[in-house]
Structure 1
Amino acid sequence: MTSARHRTALRFIQAFETLSVDTFLSLQTPTCHHIFAPSSLSLPPKDNAAFAAHISGLKQLMEGFPVRAKEVIDSQESNQVVVWATSETRFRDEVKDTGIPEDEWAYKGEYMFVFTMDESGEKIERVLEFLDSKKTKDTLLALMERARGNKARIEGDKSVPN
């Protein structure tokens, strides 16, 4: 039988499948903070509002960002859950271009999440997310920037009168 902590942590990473802001926020305390590591990525911590905006931004570019647990460590003593996970991006077709092969748009990442829970174990007080810094900087951020540029061009084209 799994603990409430364990179930909450897995629901959080499963929410990346659809990038549901409502699901993420329903699992977090009002004062939850999401911290990205390592610090060399220079990604600022996010409170709930900033995290919701971050997820909303991803949803404009991606249909989903499925994250799958490889290993879960549930610590009753520290009231934390550690999840080692992998992911694969599913960019929206309209933001992709043929300058990058289709298989490269399906970025595969690896993460470590450390969830600190409230007393009930049903809400997350803090998320510490370790990303593969080299691959994130070299690949994922470049794909996202390209997708944003493609989206902006498409939206710009729509605003041009016929």
Structure 2
Amino acid sequence: MSDIHTKQLENAHAFIKHLNALDWDSLADLLAPNFKHQYLPSTIIPPDGKDDRGKEDFVNNLKVTLENVFDKVTYLPPIDVIHGSNAVVFHLKSDGASKSGRKYNNEYMVTFHFDGEKIIKLNEFVDSKYSKDFFGALRAESS
């Protein structure tokens, strides 16, 4: 494996580490200036209502969601890792709870695309049924 591909894999793991630590500056440093993020599948309604978002919107959306909606969320070590040319794919799960105490255990496929060492694109597939049920229940609690 080339040095750049090793660094890409390290940076994908670092992304999860910084996400768990709520270390927004370190997480943002991993992202290219022209970074793009998309929640998938396309039928999911993203928290911010956008089909895709750039670096600043993505980091701000994570920060608001993880700090205001959740008491704590831990993204667990990947169950499966696929590493290709300028791409890393993680299958992983989360373990957490909302501020109201509702358990949050979602499942993800996250595809990191790289330009050199920087993450240029991230596609985040979520368990759409679980997400709809979880966030729908949170909305009902706050009504």
Task: Give RMSD over aligned pairs.
Answer: 2.2
Any residues of structure 2 matched to 1:116-131 within 5 Å, and which? 116-119=113-116, 122-131=117-126
For 1:36 and 1:9, how far apart are their aligned partners in 2? Answer: 17
Structure 1 residue aligned with 2:128: 133
TM-score normalised to the size of structure 1? 0.73
Task: Quote the offset at 1:106 in angstroms.
Answer: 2.1
Equivalent of residue 52 in structure 1, options 47, 59, 84: 59
Task: Quote the offset at 1:146 in angstroms.
Answer: 5.8
Say how many residue pairs are matched: 134
Tell me which protein shows more helix as a share of its residues: 1
Cα contact 1:38–1:131 (8 A) shared by 2: yes
- The 1:145–1:13 alpha-carbon spacing in structure 2 relative to 1, beyond 3 Å, is farther
For 2:27 and 2:140, how far apart are their aligned partners in 1? Answer: 26
Task: Quote the offset at 1:18 in angstroms.
Answer: 2.5
- Secondary structure at 1:89 match in 2: strand
Cα contact 1:89–1:108 (8 A) shared by 2: yes
Return the index of the structure with the highest Cα Rg: 1
For 2:138 and 2:57, how far apart are their aligned partners in 1? Answer: 18
For 1:45 and 1:13, how far apart are their aligned partners in 2? Answer: 20
For 1:134 and 1:55, how far apart are their aligned partners in 2? Answer: 20
Q: Percent identity?
A: 26
Tell me which protein shows more strand as a share of its residues: 2
Equivalent of residue 80 in structure 1, options 87, 92, 103: 87
Equivalent of residue 109 in structure 1, options 106, 110, 121: 106
- Secondary structure at 1:3 match in 2: helix
Gapped runs of 5+ residues in structure 1? Answer: 97-101, 151-162
Equivalent of residue 65 in structure 1, options 69, 73, 84: 73
TM-score normalised to the size of structure 2? 0.82
Gapped runs of 5+ residues in structure 2? Answer: none
